[in-house]
Copies of this chain bind each other. A is one copy, B any other.
Amino acid sequence: MSTQNIRLGLIGAGRMGSFHGLTAARHIPGASLAAIADPTPGQAARLAAELGVAKVYTDPQQLLDDPDIDGVLIAAPARSHAELVISAARAGKGIFCEKPMAITLDEADRAIAAAADARVPLQVGFNRRFAKSFRTAHLDVVAGRIGTPQLLRSLTRDPALNNPAASPQWVIFLETLIHDFDTLRYLNPGAEAVQVYVMADALIAPEYKSKGFLDTAVVTIRFDNGAIATAEANFQAVYGYDVRGEVFGSAGMLSMGSVTESDLVRYLAQGIQADTLRLDTDLLRDAYIAELNHFVDCLRSGAKPLASGEDARAALAIARACIESFETGKAVAVQGAQR
């Protein structure tokens, strides 16, 4: 499938699925969106009509069985990701899976093995690796531009708490901070997390704490190269979608992230004012496009994606240790970090 058009299939037509579908259909040269699968009645059909996609399925397996599909974009609920990855691998499809790729380390290992056995590319939706500033920072660190990393910070703040009642348990670790865990690994290349300690709480919606729903968390992480990192999340940043990173090393510091909507600045009687962004799909739009371009490149070349199943597994190991740290109140070793 080297020179011709790459035909993508989308599994999951919810918010992120629709966004990935739009991106695949419109903004990826050399690729097209050929099919959409979603079990919710009408969901796939609605999106397919909007994007001019011919094939609609309710069962993802039908899409996986479709011989005209080269690669799949998995944007179904997180709990189903690992099984879909395994099925897609068995069907011989290249796989782009939204984060988290898995909920347990065992699942993660099976997903990685399935893709390896089938020799299909497996990419995970760690979008910040494809954001210009984070990517350049990573390359700067690799090039030794700030010496050895000693202190790192990554944070994610959502602009508004969204339906805690329907949120899966530990969502703050497994679905939000998983981005930051990966970012910290990306900014501290070659190092692995060895220990975590968590302080977390339900400060925005305390009534959900007893149901295992946390909305505020600070995680401290020690890496095997000595670097100490902080990952931080909160679900109600009234000012916008806030994603930032910082890496401080023996020869300098890099900082990334801005919540401003554009380079317009207003100077008014009340002071200086600027607008902010409120959607991850606006803040990281170029990164979302870049990651799908990368996926299509990998489908074509067979190269290992930049955000791999192993990366997903390593971030998940940190998230699982966080859950244990929260439950025990103690610092916890990260499983499988030793290489």
Contacts and interface: CB of A to CB of B under 8 A. Distances in A.
A267 B251 contact: no
Interface stretch (A74-82, A252-260, A296-304, A311-319): A252-260
Contacts of A268: 145-146, 238-239, 251-252
B256 A239 contact: no
Nearest to A249: B238
B266 A256 contact: no
Interface in A267-286: 267-276
Interface string A156-190: 01000000000000000000000000000000000
B259 A267 contact: yes
Contacts of A267: 237, 239-240, 242, 252-255, 259, 276
Interface stretch (A40-48, A65-73, A106-114, A228-236): A228-236
A16 interface: no
A218 B145 CA distance: 23
Given A26-B27, A220-B218, A254-B264, A239 B157 contact: no
A116 interface: no
Interface residues of A, number: 72
Interface stretch (A7-15, A90-98, A118-126, A199-207): A199-207
A140 interface: yes
Copies in the complex: 4
A177 to B, nearest CB: 13
B250 A256 contact: no
Interface in A284-339: 329-331
Contacts of A133: 262-264
A29 interface: yes
Nearest to A258: B263
Interface in A126-162: 131-134, 136-137, 140, 145-146, 148, 150-151, 157
Given A27-B26, A222-B199, A228-B199, A252 B234 contact: no
A117 interface: no
A261 interface: yes
Nearest to A155: B151
Contacts of A257: 263
A30 to B, nearest CB: 9
A276 B270 CA distance: 8
Contact of A272 (B131, B260, B270): B260
Nearest to A216: B150
Interface string A194-225: 01010111011000000000001110101000
Nearest to A152: B218
A236 B234 CA distance: 30
Contacts of A216: 150-151, 228
13 contacts: A132-B261, A133-B264, A145-B268, A197-B199, A218-B228, A220-B220, A236-B250, A237-B248, A255-B264, A256-B262, A259-B267, A271-B276, A272-B275
